[in-house]
Amino acid sequence: MLFLHSRTDIIRMFKKLSDILSSKASLFIILTAVVTFFFPQIFAWVKGNTQTIILGIIMLTMGLTLTPKDFKLLAQRPFDILIGAAAQFTIMPLVAFTLSWLFSQVPAFAPYSTAMAIGIILVGCCPGGVSSNIMSFLCKADVAYSVGMTCASTLLAPVLTPLLVLLLAGERVDVDAWGMFRQILIVTIIPIAIGFFLNVWLGHKEVFRKIQGCMPGVSVICLACIVGGVITTVHDPLVENGIVLFLLTFCMVFIHNTTGYLLGYSVGRLFHFSTAKKRTLSIEVGMQNAGLGTNLAMTFFVATNPMAVVPCAISCAWHSISGTILANIFARRNAEKRT
C-alpha cells in the first residue's frame, strides 16, 4: 500500500509539473534557446539517432491522446478535412518558396539563400504541429476539427512533404525524396500508431490515464531538447555571421508563420466556416511541425547546407510562442463577447 501511495504521489507530482510546463511552454523553450546559445555544449548530445528518438517520443505522446473516435472524424467531416489539408499543403509551401526568393535578393542574405530556402521550404511542407491542438483547446476553437486536421496532415506527410520539397527545392539541391519518406514514417506514423494502439488497449486503466496527463509536459521537454540541439549545431555559424543574418532569418520565419495564420483564417471565411472552425484552421495552417523539419534538415541537408537548420530551429521556438499569443487573443475575444 505504501508503494502504491508513493507511486500515486509521484504521478501527481509529474502531472503538476506537466501542467506548469504546458502553460509556460513558450517561456521554457525561449529560456532553453537563450541558455543553449551561451552554453552550446549542453545539448551537444541531441543529434543523429538521438534526435530522431526524441521527435518520435513527441509523436508518441500525440498518439497516446488519439482514440477511434478521432479517426472517425476523417470519415464524418471529409469536406472540412479536405479543405484544411489542401490549405495546409498549398499555402505554407508556396509562401515559403516566395519568401525564399524575395529574401535571396537581400545582399546580406544572398550568400546563404540556398540553405535558408531549404530550411523554410522544409518547414512549409511539414504537417501541422502537435501543439496546435493545445492552442485550439485554449482558445475554445473546434478541437475535434483540429485533431482531425492534424491526423490527416500527418498521415499525408510521408508522401506530400518529400514530393513538395522535391518540387520547390529540387532545382537548388538534390532531394532524397524516398529517404525523406522513410524518415517521416519512422518519426511520425510509427510512433503515432504505437501510441494509438496503447491508448485503445490500456486507455481504460486509471494509471494509464494518469500517465497520459503527464504527456504534454514530456512533449514540451522533448521539443526544448530539439531546439537546444539545433542551436548547438548552428551556434558557430550564427556567431560567425552575426546578428543581421539571425534577424533576417527571424523576419522570414515571422512573415511565413503570420501569413499562414491570416490566410488560414481567410480560407475558413471563404467557405463560411463557423468562428470556431476559422480559428482552428488559422492555427492549424500557421503552426507547422518544425521539429520534424529540423530532423529532416539535419538528416538530409546539414552535411552540404549546414545553415538549412536555422529557419527550422527558429520556427520551432517561434511557432510555439506565436501560437500561444494567437490563442490568447482569440480567448480574450471570447471573454469580451460574454461581458
Max Cα–Cα distance, the chain, nearest Å: 69
Specify the range with the lowest mean pLDDT, choosing from 33-47, 53-67, 133-147: 133-147
Average per-residue pLDDT in the chain?
Answer: 83
Write down the pLDDT at residue 138: 66
Asked if residue 71 has pLDDT above 80, the reply is no
Asked if residue 3 has pLDDT above 60, the reply is no
Any idea where the domains of the chain sit in the sequence? Answer: 48-338
CA distance 150 to 61: 14
Residues 281/267, Cβ–Cβ less than 8 Å = yes
CA distance 117 to 89: 17
Which one has a higher pLDDT value, 121 or 216?
A: 121
Asked if residue 97 has pLDDT above 90, the reply is yes
Burial class (CB in 10 A: 0-12, 13-18, 19+), 334: middle
Phi, psi of 280 (to 5 degrees): -60, -45
State which of 58-72, 180-194, 249-263 shows the largest mean pLDDT: 249-263
Asked if residue 2 has pLDDT above 50, the reply is no
pLDDT confidence bin for 171, thresholds 50/70/90: low
Mean pLDDT to the nearest integer, 121-148: 79
Which one has a higher pLDDT value, 270 or 318?
A: 270
Q: What is the 8-class DSSP label of residue 288?
A: B
Which fold is adopted by the domain 48-338?
Answer: Na+/H+ antiporter like fold (1.20.1530)
Write down the pLDDT at residue 266: 96
